[in-house]
Amino acid sequence: MPFHKELLEKRENLIKSGINPYPYSFEQSCPIKKIRAEEAGFLDKQVSIPGRIVAQRIQGKASFVDIEDFDDHIQVYFKKDHVGEAGWNIVMQLDLGDIIGVRGKVFRTRTNELTISAEEIQILAKTTVQVPISKKTEDKVFYQLADPEIKYRERYIHWITEPQARQKLVTRARIISETRKFMESNGFLEVTTPTLEMIYGGAEATPFETNVKALSNQKVFLRISPELSLKRFIVGGFPKVFTICQNFRNEGIDRSHNPEFTMMEWYEAYTDYEFQMKRFEELVFTVSVNTTGSGKITYQGREIDLTPPWRRLTMVDAIKEFNGIEVESMPEEEIKDFARKREIDIQEPFNLGLAIDEIFKATCEDKLIQPTFIMDHPMETSPLTKAKRGKPGFIERFEPFIVGMEMGNAYSELTDPVEQHERLCRQRQAGQSQKGESGHPVNPMDMDFVKAIGCGMPPTGGVGLGIDRLVMLLTDSHSIREIIAFPLMKPKQ
């Protein structure tokens, strides 16, 4: 039982004295913030305000209680003469964390504190769990919740005790809202794609599995990416579509990875990846301006300038810039030697494309602080992308990096159905011998997807944007757990 004995007794006492500590509604005048903002209009006027008790100062037959609502707080003054015997009995039963409603006039005390002089008090929710409410003044914190486990596992306590912790989730909501507005104002249609799929694809990741009872326990997977669904929209005649959805990947958990995470993907017919780089930087810049007020932000002490245009750098050039080597023209043995010295794992049998990708990840990613589009990856890294014009062995793909984090992934989408089929086959063959690019079992062949492309898919630029990473960036959050309301945690015990 999570309940606190003494608080339970107080609840009982209230019920015994004929008070329902969990009533049905409360008519409120306005948010507290409005009283503070329009004080002159409220002074000496009756208001009716609900809030959670965050501080209590009892003084004989008077009592001062601070109550808090979503984004402000205000002092309430209880005087026995004003609230009467019955009201006073309730005031004496109050605890930190209780939610109450008060009716009374707005005034300023001798010490000039904006206050509601209560004439009526109503309990709206009696706490039965003791919540660790922070003690602090304007400039000093006397104590506050420090246990990071409680912060993430019992998020409601985190939010109750640290109102500023709510702010990141508010910003998250606004980022998603602004993102949606940007897409819609550019003529995109928001669509919904299935979470449960018989065949997963569109990314390289281990999926979560479950089964469907109604279909003889047919095995199904939780989507790892909405890509293949969205391309079917394009084939079907929707030229500009996007979706914001949860993806599920049964892999590592760390400060930038949660097993379920939010992605936006969009597909735009008749465009290529060059066009989408512009769209991407414009989107991120606009969202930043509309949520933080600026296109220049600070992340973990570093100034980041999101103003377009961002730097464009091919993967091979990035390796050259940070390592001084021309990896394309190096003999196999030299590349292996280079990798060995830096403890970079190169798979056997040797494959130049995969080696380039590994070397890039190990030596360049964390150095890409200012917004940079890394482009033109080796062909082996994705079977869904068109070949790079004029550069055999490479593809038209880009990944935007900011503060060393990969923020998204985009292609000039492969639209030749025969080549698409061959590329998927080749990937599966490679998968049978070496378990794919990164040790994962290779995705199953989606023949229906190949058929869809065969029905005629216009040239298309497709982009994925990691919403959680973007929120981390714009809220200056070190861990993805800070900006996911309920991150997956190991079970207690």
Partner RNA sequence: GGGCCGCUAGCUCAGUAGGUAGAGCAACGCCCUUUUAAGGCGUGGGUCGAAGGUUCGAAUCCUUCGCGGCUCACCA
Nearer to RNA, 80 or 320 (CB): 80
Nearer to RNA, 151 or 240 (CB): 151
Distance from C-alpha of 197 to C-alpha of 181, rounded to nearest angstrom: 29
Q: How far is the CB of 140 from RNA (least distance, A)?
A: 7
Residues that bind RNA (CB under 7 A): 4, 6, 10, 55-62, 64, 66, 75, 77, 79-81, 95-96, 107, 109-113, 115, 117, 130, 132, 135, 137, 142-143, 145-150, 152, 203-206, 249, 251-252, 254-255, 257, 345, 361, 365, 399, 406, 409, 438-440, 478-479, 481, 489-493
Burial (CB count within 10 angstroms: exposed 0-12, middle 13-18, buried 19+), residue 329: exposed
Nearer to RNA, 120 or 406 (CB): 406
Q: Which residues pair with 293 in a beta bridge?
A: none
Helix, strand, coil % over all residues of the chain, rounded to 5: 35, 25, 35
Contacts of 14 (CB under 8 A, 6+ apart): 21, 90, 93, 123, 126
Reduced to 3 states, what is the DSSP secondary structure of residue 344?
coil
Beta strand extents in 82-158 (DSSP E only): 99-108, 114-125, 135-136, 141-143
Nearer to RNA, 36 or 361 (CB): 361
Nearer to RNA, 99 or 457 (CB): 99
Q: Which residues pair with 266 in a beta bridge?
A: 242, 463
Nearest in space to 234 (alpha carbons), one of 205, 202, 261, 270: 270
Q: How far is the CB of 425 from RNA (least distance, A)?
A: 20
Angstrom distances, CA of residue 272 to CA of 141, 160, 308, 385: 53, 47, 18, 11
Nearer to RNA, 347 or 370 (CB): 347
Q: How far is the CB of 386 from RNA (least distance, A)?
A: 19
Q: How far is the CB of 358 from RNA (least distance, A)?
A: 9
Which pairs from 2-7 meet CB under 8 Å and 24+ separation?
A: 2/129, 3/128, 3/129, 4/128, 4/129, 4/130, 7/95, 7/126, 7/127, 7/128, 7/129, 7/130
Nearer to RNA, 421 or 469 (CB): 469
Q: How far is the CB of 329 from RNA (least distance, A)?
A: 24
Residues 457-481, buried b or exposed e (16+ Cβ, 10 A)? beebbbbbbbbbbbbbbbbbbeebb
Nearer to RNA, 231 or 481 (CB): 481
Q: What angle do CA 478, 479, 481 make, to 5 degrees?
A: 145
Considering Cα of 376, then 378, then 384, then 386, what sign does the dihedral take?
A: positive
Q: How far is the CB of 249 from RNA (least distance, A)?
A: 4
Nearest in space to 239 (alpha carbons), one of 409, 458, 449, 455: 458
Q: How far is the CB of 385 from RNA (least distance, A)?
A: 14
Q: How far is the CB of 411 from RNA (least distance, A)?
A: 13
Nearer to RNA, 141 or 214 (CB): 141
Q: How far is the CB of 57 from RNA (least distance, A)?
A: 4
Distance from C-alpha of 378 to C-alpha of 178, rounded to nearest angstrom: 34
Q: How far is the CB of 184 from RNA (least distance, A)?
A: 27
Nearer to RNA, 68 or 204 (CB): 204
